[in-house]
Structure 1
Amino acid sequence: MAGNDFDPLDEQIAVPCVLMRGGTSKALFFHESAIPPAGAARDAFLKRAMGTPDQLQIDGLGGLRLVTSKVAIISKSTRPGADVDYLFAQIDVERDIVGYDGNCGNISSAVGPFAIDEGLVDATEPVTSVRIYNVNTDKMLVAKVQVVGGKARVLGDCSISGVPGTGAKILMDYAGTVGAKTGKLLPSGQVTDTITLEDGRRIEVTICDVANPCVFFSAESLGLTGSELPAQISGDTALIETIGEIQGKAGQLIGMWPEWRAYHLPGLPLAVMVAPAETFVDVNGETVLDNSMDLRARLVFLGKCHDSMAGTGSMCTAAASRIQGSKVRQAITSSRAAEPTLRIGHPLGVMEVKVVVESDADGDSAMPRFAALGLTRTARRLMAGEVYVPRQHPAD
């Protein structure tokens, strides 16, 4: 109405925000100083910004999927040896949940470019190494980011399955993330454990903790081929409940909670079903040949199958592939088990990750130490501006 001084935006809080793609995921990036402190107020703000809980996330910036409902909270670090501190938050879509249990490898790849572009790290051409302290796991990551004109480079010839086109290569080093959650490569103390389901089935698993803890088991043990796609897996309620039970009991076994029912369909440990290499058809209808991969993998967290392969899940899979007798190693032909790369066939194609064992002096039974454990990603700033959140929400 003419002459009315009332500004409708006064009913909302405007917070600076950057939307970034990192690998095959997207996240809202916030400076820690711009959002509420840790606690209920922060959680309420993040959920409202994303539009959670709502399967359409229609009243927020979320993209209807777990891979597009993520948040990165960044600050300049005061820790020795770190450039920035990075806290990852997984915002559930349908459930009223914010999770801080673990890290996201794909979103981690966007932290370096964000830090450079926001002036949190001095840019050095042609490559700037950004030392990232991940608050979730209390571990250090290193991102090697190409730089031009004082900004993170965007254009390049690096392609990754699940992302159209190409971009500038970002090298992520995860060698320092062994024991991310538990402090141990094999937190149960065993290469394999047997989990007994409530219906009496006995499932052999390997629980490994690198970047994020994962519980690995063969697709065959659940009556699957290993070539199933996300819609088929996520849409099978009984299967998802069974996988959630395996996650819950694996978490109990390694001390994450006292009783496996404590968390229904948990995020961690990530569940990874593995199968030997075999030709399959991916989500886009493309044929993925068996000779292009070393194994097939399908990753499940928070009750849904990942659209591709989580970055942290790929790192843990790579590490487990070098442990003699593990469920991952069993899925790989012996001729490929010592290669410096692991090629993981996932629902959107093949992901290649680097894994180099530093020492195995005592033979195949010894626990490996990793000279290199990393992946190549691309990332890109998609939008910068302000996200608006109504003042009248549970945080107020």
Structure 2
Amino acid sequence: MPHTPQIKIPATYIRGGTSKGVFFRLQDLPEAAQVPGAARDALLMRVIGSPDPYGKQIDGMGAATSSTSKTVILSKSSKPDHDVDYLFGQVSIDKPFVDWSGNCGNLSAAVGPFAISNGLIDASRVPQNGTATVRIWQANIGKTIIAHVPITNGAVQETGDFELDGVTFPAAEVQLEFMDPAAEEEGAGGAMFPTGNLVDDLEVPGIGTLKATMINAGIPTIFVNADAIGYTGTELQDAINGDAKALAMFETIRAYGSLRMGLIKNVDEAAKRQHTPKIAFVAKPSDYVSSSGKQVSAGDIDLHVRALSMGKLHHAMMGTAAVAIGTAAAIPGTLVNLAAGGDARNAVRFGHPSGTLRVGAEATQADGEWSVTKAIMSRSARVLMEGWVRVPGDAF
């Protein structure tokens, strides 16, 4: 019986922040997948093991969560004053599509280290010891990210004592600067607040009218108050991800918020755009126990935030959503700022299911318009495996 042999493609499996993904150099992809289109999407889905009606991704590199169903393609940058072009693909677990509409802030931490280790950065920009500054062009959203990567003996330092809630083991710290993070989304006119308001009354059929802050920063995000939808803000994954009614409610809010933000033209389009926008809920600080059993006191945080990604409550916090949180917290009057006490601030520490995270942002207002020059946070990254990934030759 004739069969199609497998092909092997150079790839690296990396943890970045609280996510994992398969990283490729553009030049290493099969020719048909070196350009956007059906062949590229089919290849990446097969690598990850999607679509999988069982929802397990057993026959691929994915691990059956939105945090681990991710792909990255990197190349030397064609942009002036940038080192590397970074393209992120969020692979749906059970449906046949790759969402290219946004960035992954967690995997952004692994871009600089991978680029250095794989010859995408000019050697003259990498010190023998110290910190390498990698200028990243985030191609999905057309934004600049600056990564500060520790270097020891001419190589990327991956081990260290930096601890990140949601990641079991410590590693080396990678500081990220998300420059001018207001997302330039089609239909949103590039505005940080596409509706023109810090808080809107969002009408959601079957649910009611909710106060909502809808912001384009890091990634388009819809924030609502936890108590308005029956939550405290201290929820862990099991409280929501096993509740089909709750998940349907969040998806409905997300769809109507997306429509209000101008990201889609009708609510049905939201099903094909799962990666963006994100939906999150906020609450004032209170004591809670994280998913690892760690006690977090109200005094340790400024507010609670819980966010959903690809239809499920995230186990920690998406890096891009953390940028949105930091940005919104810096602007007086948003729901995020109000939950954090309503004061002017340039940094915020928030509680999430796995623990706490600090993100900084500086906001300024001119002629009634808010802008943020950059948002800053620290993550870590570590190579888990490198070599080749194999796929059937007729998979794309």
TM range (shorter): over 0.9
Q: 1:24 aligns with which of 14, 18, 23?
A: 18
Residue 4 of structure 1 is matched in structure 2 by none
TM-score (norm 2): 0.92
Corresponding residue number in structure 2 for 1:186: 193
Q: Quick check: 2:12–2:385 contact (8 Å CA) kept in 1?
A: yes
Unmatched runs of 5 consecutive residues or more in structure 1: 1-7
Task: Give the match's secondary structure for 2:337.
Answer: helix
Q: CA offset at residue 162 of structure 1?
A: 0.9
What's the counterpart of residue 309 of structure 1? 317
1:285 deviation in Å? 2.0
- Give the percent of matched residue pairs that are identical in Structure 1 and Structure 2: 33
1:356: which partner in 2?
A: 362
Take 2:314 and 2:96, find their aligned partners in 1: how far apart are those partners?
Answer: 19
Q: What is the CA distance between 1:367 and its match in structure 2?
A: 4.4
Counterparts of 1:180 and 1:352, CA distance in 2: 25
Measure how far apart 1:200 and its partner are: 5.2
Asked whether the 8 Å contact 1:248–1:266 carries over to 2, the reply is no
Q: Is the 8 A contact 1:219 1:275 kept in 2?
A: yes
User: Are the equivalent residues in 2 in contact too, given 1:138–1:180 (CA < 8 A)?
Assistant: yes
Distance in structure 2 (CA, Å) of the matches to 1:76 and 1:312:
23
Tell me, in whole angstroms, the C-alpha distance in 1 between the residues paired with 2:103 and 2:374: 19
Aligned-residue RMSD, C-alpha: 1.8
Matched, 1:49 2:53: no
**For each residue in 1:101-136, what CA deviation from the matched residue of structure 2 results, as whole angstroms up to 9, or x when unmatched?**
100100011000000111111322311111100111
187-196 vs 99-108, greater mean Cα deviation: 187-196
Q: Distance in 1 between matches of 2:237 and 2:267?
A: 25
Q: How far apart are 1:87 and its partner, in Å?
A: 0.4
Question: Offset of 1:338 from its aligned partner?
Answer: 3.3
Give ranges in structure 2 of 5+ residues lacking alignment: none
Q: For residues 63 and 326 of structure 1, what CA distance do their matches in structure 2 show?
A: 35
Q: TM-score scaled to structure 1, two decimals? A: 0.92
CA shift at 1:361, angstroms?
A: 7.3
CA contact (8 A) 1:180 1:213 kept: no
Corresponding letter in the other structure for 1:376: S
Rounded Cα–Cα distance in structure 2 between residues aligned with 1:283 and 1:49: 30
CA distance in 1, matches of 2:371, 2:207: 37
- Structure 1 residue ranges (4+ consecutive) displaced by more than 3 angstroms after TM superposition: 337-340, 359-362, 366-372
Alpha-carbon separation, structure 1, partners of 2:150 and 2:16: 15
Cα deviation, residue 368, structure 1: 4.1
> Distance between the aligned counterparts of 1:180 and 1:382, measured in 2?
33
Q: State which drifts further: 264-273 or 17-26.
A: 264-273
Partner of 1:93: 93
Stretch deviating more after TM superposition (79-88 or 178-187)? 178-187
1:166 aligns to what SS in structure 2? coil
Matches within 5 A, 1:233-252: 233-252=240-259
The amino acid across from 2:393 in the alignment is R
Paired position in structure 1 for 2:231: 224
Could you say which residue in structure 2 is the equivalent of 1:347?
353
Is 1:284–2:292 an aligned residue pair?
yes
Which residue identity lines up with residue 27 of structure 1 in the other structure?
A: G
CA gap of 1:369–1:195, structure 2 versus 1, over 3 A, is: closer
| Aligned residue in 2 for 1:3 | none
- Which of 8, 14, 18 is the aligned partner of 2:8? 14
- Change in Cα spacing, 1:103 to 1:276, as seen in structure 2 (3 Å) is same
- Deviation string, structure 1 residues 270-321 (Cα, Å, up to 9, x no partner): 1111111111111122221111111111111221111100001001011011
Mapped partners of 2:393, 2:238: distance in 1: 37
The yes-or-no answer on 1:293 pairing with 2:262 is no
Correspondence 1:152 to 2:160: no
Where 1:244 maps in the other structure, the secondary structure is helix
Aligned to 1:34: 28
